[in-house]
Amino acid sequence: MKEFELIKHFFTKQKVKRKDVELGIGDDCAVLAPIENQNIVVTTDTLVAGVHFPFDTSPRAIGHKSVAVNLSDIAAMGAKPSWLSLALTIPEVDENWLKEFCEGVFELCEFYNVELIGGDTTQGPLSITITAQGLTPKGSYLSRSGAKAGDWLYVTGELGDAALALQQITGKVDIEPQFTSILRKKLDYPKPRILAGQTLREYASAAIDLSDGLMADLGHICQASNVGANVVLDALPISTIMRDSLLSDDAIALALSGGDDYELLFTVSEDNKVGMETAMSHAGTPITCIGQMNASQTISTTLNNKAIPINTAGFEHFTE
């Protein structure tokens, strides 16, 4: 099967056909007709086999995760996802693999009404690059740079389960067999917090999605906003599986530094705190207050009201 036959056979068969897509897959460029008085937000992420997902990951999970991590960035901006393009590099044309991969891609696209509008295919080591775009009302979007001293620090969901799954896969920890599939699902099928992001647009001062670990991504907010933060380690939302599988210190360390959570980390002023908590409750999104921003321009941590030095960092793509 040649490139354009492959594209026609696998990637043009999608259920989502948006009215704002005037020309989609099959030409040199897609043509979009976005609504007036809105901003378009754009993000691009690349996933490489053996780096962003284990080599034994199912093609359906790879398709899902490739879309999910991009939509998580869209969620962090408070936007509604709309379109995506896909650049797929594969070692060979395996029709069964491609069929399952597309199932993972299109399931998530259909759920969020996102249309695949184009991309590229080429031969080489397995990697997937997606550019996703979304819409927000003009001038109404979240960024990393709005946090202020005194703002409260929150996170959605639970932290560290995906990283724990990866440790189990690589043989670093032993996990009870009944927990293995639950943790692997957290790693392979992250759920982007789209509704939460759109809800937070009305309340949050800054936001970021957690891809490289809480401490690393919190550092991005602090740097962009020129503030510091204190993280209360007692408050970290850690799952029962994590608590049962690891010593307390190890669980905390993994919650702080483990990547692949794709939860939202965000800041809220005192004035917006109650309104935000009510709105997020109505949205059905679990949230936890884990600290507060300050003017120190450094990140500190406390445990049982005592300062605890933490030497942990998140995922780094390039190391010396």
DSSP string for residues in 23-90: E-TTSSS-EE-PPTTEEEEEEEEEEEBTTTB-TT--HHHHHHHHHHHHHHHHHHTTPEEEEEEEEEEE
The span from the CA of 95 to the CA of 217, in Å, is 38
Q: Is 111 annotated as a binding residue?
A: no
Q: Is 56 annotated as a binding residue?
A: no
Res 28 pLDDT > 90: no
Domain of 30, in residue numbers: 3-137
End-of-domain residue from the set 107, 137, 167: 137
Q: For residue 30, what pLDDT is reported?
A: 67
Assess whether 179 and 301 both reside in one domain: yes
Q: For residue 29, what pLDDT is reported?
A: 62
Assess whether 86 and 47 both reside in one domain: yes
Assess whether 204 and 233 both reside in one domain: yes
Assess whether 163 and 303 both reside in one domain: yes
Q: Is 64 annotated as a binding residue?
A: no
Summarised one tens digit per residue, pLDDT across range 193-231 is 999 999 999 999 999 999 999 999 999 999 999 999 999
Assess whether 161 and 272 both reside in one domain: yes
Assess whether 86 and 231 both reside in one domain: no
Q: Is 211 annotated as a binding residue?
A: yes
Assess whether 105 and 25 both reside in one domain: yes
Q: For residue 21, what pLDDT is reported?
A: 82
The two structure tokens encoding residue 317: 């793509």
Q: Is 44 annotated as a binding residue?
A: yes
Q: Is 193 annotated as a binding residue?
A: no
Assess whether 170 and 62 both reside in one domain: no
Assess whether 115 and 162 both reside in one domain: no
Residue 195 lies in a domain: yes
Res 317 pLDDT > 50: no
Assess whether 119 and 215 both reside in one domain: no
Q: Is 120 annotated as a binding residue?
A: yes
The band of 3, judged by pLDDT with boundaries at 50, 70 and 90, is low
Assess whether 182 and 124 both reside in one domain: no
Q: Is 151 annotated as a binding residue?
A: no
How large is the average pLDDT for residues 284-296? 97
| Alpha helices (runs of H) in the chain, residue ranges in sequence order | 3-6, 59-76, 95-112, 161-169, 177-188, 194-200, 214-225, 240-245, 248-257, 270-282
The answer to whether the pTM exceeds 0.85 is yes
Count of structural domains, the chain: 2
CATH number at residue 26: 3.30.1330.10
CATH number at residue 195: 3.90.650.10
Q: Is 260 annotated as a binding residue?
A: yes
Residue 320 lies in a domain: no
Helix axes 59-76, 177-188, angle to 10 degrees: 60
* Residues contacting 94, CB < 8 A, separation 6+: none
Q: How far is CA 195 from CA 71, 103, 240, 294, in A?
A: 11, 23, 25, 28
Residue 146 lies in a domain: no
Res 90 pLDDT > 80: yes
> Which DSSP category does 232 fall into?
E
Q: Is 28 annotated as a binding residue?
A: yes
